[in-house]
Every structure is written in structure tokens, then in C-alpha cells.
Amino acid sequence: MIEVRNLSRYYGDFAAISNISFSIQQHEVIGFLGLNGAGKSTTLKILAGLLSPSDGEVFIDGINWIDNPNAFRSNIGFLPEEPPLYKEMTVREFLRYLAKLRKYPHKDIEQRIETVLILCQLADRGDQIVEELSLGYRKRVGIAQAIVHKPSLVVLDEPTSGLDPQQMVELRQVIRGLSTEATVLLSSHNLTEVAETCDRLLILHEGKLIAEGDRDSLSKRMDTSKQRIDILLSKKEGIKDDIHALTGIEHISFEEQDEHLLLHLTITCTTPELVSQMVQSGFEIHQVMPTQSELEQIFLSLTGGKQ
Amino acid sequence: MNTIFLIARKEARSYLNTSWGISIFAIILLLDGLLFNAFALGSSPRYSADVLEDFFYFSSGTTMIAGILLTMRLIAEERQQGTDALLLTAPIQESHIVIGKFLGALSFLLLITFTTLYMPLLIQINGKVSWGQIFAGYLGLACLGSATVAIGTFGSTIAKNQLSAAITSAGILVLFLLGWLLGKVTAPPFDTIFSYLAFFDKHFQPFMSGKINSEAIVFYCSLTFTFLLLSVRVIQTRRQH
């Protein structure tokens, strides 16, 4: 179990993170969300043993970062955004070297490497030189190195960045598979990825943890009084005046198209209520489109809507 | 201890497995051979002991060059490519990282140095030199190499990339090499201090003529220890801040 208590990290007078507290249970997959500069990377680096906390405590399975940093590190696996790889080695040599470096029991190393290769879908690439692998496979080798010593917590920083859609789907399967043997904490800008991969979310904003919970509990906290939608209509005489006469619209902008008019709306009523009004007023509606996914709405609502 | 040897073995193997390591090996051997042929042997008859002394004189230069070139990538390259995260997140002491890297580079440098042994043996075939002079010369080269590699390790630790690592290390080395000159132009007590720090003039020259000077061995060992200790401190600071 991972326990973070009142964690702060300063760079001079600037607090990159301030008084963050959370706990993670075994085998959970946690998504770490935040805008650029929110303090995600700083928190991940502390959890990975790369940075020391300025204040507060971090425990993993009861081991305190400050009291015993090396025992702490032996329980962590870390994959930075750019996978750190010794490209001249084969995948097996690379994993063997890191297992030894991280003091995994010598007699079990070969067995462990085979298990990790299967878990990361690398079984047929074990003897290939790392430099010859595609980016997707390199990311998997990056994950393999993070788990080769069987850590309690695996920290993944933007694990799918730079991958094509097919590779993303495959890597998500690998990440879900990791939860069978470790707790996984991943940061991402890709909200879809987080929604599909994680059991629970931690949302950081300006160095503070502003929300945590699963998708449903965060939806309940969302400001549901407003939402943004786009509606495509057929043009007709006096259409703009008629639209302004509708109720429940807080903000509207128009985009002229050949025979259509696209409306960008912020509404204070529900979408069905607005559509019903428009149908009754004789508008010819072609398309109604929500502009953000549910998770994007949650995220923007909690972080004050800053893009 | 196992971690130190694990890192050292990986470093030494990476020199043998990359064109960088092999190129340095080849260039240093070529330079040593050319200098030996052109200057040490010469065209006029000479005493074998003088030829051997010249050989060690030139070899000290190529050893220092090789030391700087081999160490420039040690830690700076890891930092540049982000692989330092693998070492810094591993449950190992900073001193193990530094000593492991140092031993890896030093062992490869010594391999290059001892491969030149055929040249003193050629002198032995065509002339007469004492085994003591050969032993003392190579001991001197090993001590000089050790100190150079330690300086290079330090340069590579503080630099952000390999080029600045090489420049930093070479700069520090040149300062030590110029110790004899600084000793001449400064007033007491600095003249004594600079003269003592003269990397080549004061401490290496006795080895060339076959004299094993314990003071010089202590000097090179102290320098090695000091620069390795500084490197450990830099990595400790980086890991904690």
C-alpha cells in the first residue's frame, strides 16, 4: 500500500506541489491527471525515488522514503516519458542487467525475465537488439524494465505518448495486465486512455490535489449547471433572432456554412430541453454534438475550465 | 561490491561492443606505434634505456588523451539519453555507481595500455633493458591513467553533455600539467603547492627511468580518491535535490 502524507516539494520559494495526501491500495490502477505545470512530474519523480520530498512523508508497504530511500526504491518501478534503454543490449541482456542492479534474487532472474517478457507481450523479441525495435516495442521494454524486479508500485509517466492507435490499444492491455502483480500509477494527458485504463483518478491543479475518486464519484462533483454543445441547423430567414428568443442559452456563437448554420452553445438547461424548444419553434436540426467527452467535462470543471 | 562489478563489467563491455570504444583503442595504438617508430627509435644509435624512457614519455600523453576520451561518455551520456534514471532509481549507493563506472573505464584503458607491451619487448629483442624499468614505467602509466580517469569521471558527472565533459576534464588536467610552470611564477607557499601538484613533471618522470617513487603513487592515489569523492557528492546532490 502507498501512503502519501502532506507531501510538498519546493524549488527555491516556488512550491511545485503543496500538502498533497492520498493513499493507494494494492493492485489498483490509478490515473494522475493535471494540466502542464500542475506538479504531476514532480510527484511522480518523488514516488520513483528520483527526487526527495521537501516536506511530508511517503510510505510504500510501511517503508518511509526519508528513513530508507534505497529500500523504498527497491519497491518501485519507473518508466519516464522517454523510455530509458541501453540500446546496444538485447532485450534479455537489458532486463537481466537491471534485475541484478535492483538486487532481485539471482537464482530467480531467468524465470522472472521470461514471465515479464510474456506479460509485456515481448516473448518473441527477447533476443533482439533494443535499437532495432519500433517505438511501440521500446515502450514495452520500458515497462518490462520497470517491473523486472517485481516492485509493489509501478510509476508510468505518459506511457502511450507518441504511439499510433493500434500500439496504444495494445499497450493499454499490457498496463491493465500489470495490476495482477503490482499497483500502477500512470500520468497522462490522454483522458480517453485514463478513462479506459484506470480504476481511480487523482486530479492535480497548481500543485494541489483538488479531487480524487472513480469516474462516477467525480461526475457527481462536476458543475452540471452548464454544458457545451454544437448544433447544426438549416439556414432560414431571421434564424438568428429566433435563436436568441430561446431560453436556457448562456452563450452562443455562429459559424456560417453553405446551406447550414453551426451553433456553438453554452447552455444552462439540458440538451433534450433545448432541442425540444427548437423543434417546437420550427428549426430543422441536422446534428447535435457534445463538444467534450464526459471525462473532459469533469476535468475542465474541476480545474476551473483552463485549457 | 557485486553492484560495483556489475556496473564496471557493463561499462567495459560497452567499450568493446561499440565503435566508439574500438575506435579509441585503434587510434591510441596507432599513435603509440607511430610515436615509438618516429621519435623513440629515431635514426641514430641510442641506449635501449633511453629509447624505453622516450616510449613511456609518449605513452603518458596518449594515456591521458585516451582517459579523457573514454570517460567523457561515462555519466554525461547517461544524463543526455535519460538512462541515468535507471541508475538513480535503483536501490544502490551513489559511490557504487561512481566506482563501478570508474573501474569499467580504467580496466579498458589499462587493456589499451598493456597492449603496447610489444614495443618494450621489441627493444628487449634488439637491445637490453631491465624488466624493472618496464615494470616501473607501466606502473606509472597505470597510476597516471587512474588519476586521469578519475578526473574524467568527475568532468562527466558535472557536465550536461559529452563534449562539455571532455572540455571540463581536459581543462582540469591541463591545470595539473601546468603545475610546474605555476610553481615557477608564484611566490611561497604557492610555488611549493603548485610544484607538488605538477601531474607529469614531478610525479611521472621518475617512473620513466625505472624509479618507483612511493610519494608519486600516493599522489596519484590521492588525486583518484579526491575526484571520485567529488563525483559521488555531485550525484548525491543531484539525487537529493
B165-181 pLDDT, tens per residue?
999 999 999 988 887 77
Can you list the residues of chain A whose pLDDT is less than 50?
Answer: 306-307
Q: Which helix (H) or strand (E) holds A98?
A: helix A91-101
Q: Report how far residue A16's alpha carbon sits from residue A37's, in angstroms, rounded to the nearest whole number.
A: 8
Give the Å distances, CA to CA, from B121 to B47, B128, B133: 15, 10, 12
Q: Report how far residue A142's alpha carbon sits from residue A145's, in angstroms, rounded to the nearest whole number.
A: 5
Q: Report how far residue B229's alpha carbon sits from residue B222's, in angstroms, rounded to the nearest whole number.
A: 10
For chain A, the C-alpha Rg in angstroms (whole number) is 24
* Beta-bridge partners for A264: A230, A253
* Candidates A73, A74, A86; nearest CB to B83: A86
Length of chain B: 241
For A86, other C-beta atoms within 10 Å of its C-beta total 19
Query: Of the candidates A130, A144, A141, which has an alpha carbon nearest to the alpha carbon of residue B14?
Result: A130
B82 and A84 within 8 Å at the Cβ level: the answer is yes
Question: What is the SS3 string spanning B46-84?
Answer: CCHHHHHHHHHHHHHHHHHHHHHHHHCCCCHHHHHHCCH
A101 and B17 within 8 Å at the Cβ level: the answer is no
DSSP letter string, A81-96: SS----TTSBHHHHHH
* Candidates B10, B81, B90; nearest CB to A102: B90
A34, A27 in Cβ contact below 8 A? Answer: no
Question: Which is the CATH superfamily of the domain at A2-219?
Answer: P-loop containing nucleotide triphosphate hydrolases (3.40.50.300)
B91 and A97 within 8 Å at the Cβ level: the answer is no
Q: Indicate the domain borders of chain A.
A: 2-219, 227-302
A10, A33 in Cβ contact below 8 A? Answer: no
In this prediction, residue A225 carries a pLDDT of: 65
Q: Check residues B125 and B74 and name the one with the higher pLDDT.
A: B74
Which residue's C-alpha cell is 448554420?
Answer: A261
Q: If 0-12 CB within 10 Å is exposed, 13-18 middle and 19+ buried, where does residue A306 land?
A: exposed
Query: Of the candidates A70, A71, A8, A138, which has an alpha carbon nearest to the alpha carbon of residue B82?
Result: A138
| Mean local confidence (pLDDT), B101-126 | 92
Identify whether A165 is preceded by a cis peptide bond (ω within 30 of 0): no
* Beta-bridge partners for A204: A34, A209
Closest-CA distance, B223 to chain A, in angstroms, reads 28
Give the Å distances, CA to CA, from A236 to A28, A259, A277, A284, B15: 54, 9, 17, 9, 76
Q: Report how far residue A92's alpha carbon sits from residue A126's, in angstroms, rounded to the nearest whole number.
A: 5
In this prediction, residue B74 carries a pLDDT of: 93
Query: Of the candidates A99, A162, A86, which has an alpha carbon nearest to the alpha carbon of residue A131?
Result: A86
Which of A42, A52, A101 is most worth mutating to test chain B (most B CB atoms within 10 A of its CB)?
A101
B1-44 pLDDT, tens per residue?
789 999 999 999 999 988 899 999 999 999 999 988 887 676 67
A236: Cα within 13 Å, side-chain hemisphere: 12
**ipTM score assigned to the predicted complex:** 0.86
Partner B contacted by A78 (CB < 8 A): yes
Does the pLDDT at position B107 exceed 90?
Answer: yes
B130-157 pLDDT, tens per residue?
889 999 999 999 999 999 999 999 999 9
In terms of average pLDDT, the best of A199-203, B113-117, B124-128 is B113-117
Q: Which CATH class is domain A227-302?
A: alpha beta
Q: If 0-12 CB within 10 Å is exposed, 13-18 middle and 19+ buried, where does residue B185 land?
A: exposed
Residue numbers in B near A52 (CB within 8 A): 239-241
Query: Of the candidates B51, B68, B187, B69, which has an alpha carbon nearest to the alpha carbon of residue B121?
Result: B51
B240 and A52 within 8 Å at the Cβ level: the answer is yes
Q: Report how far residue A233's alpha carbon sits from residue A262's, in angstroms, rounded to the nearest whole number.
A: 6
Percent of chain B with pLDDT over 90: 64
Which residue's C-alpha cell is 617513487?
Answer: B213
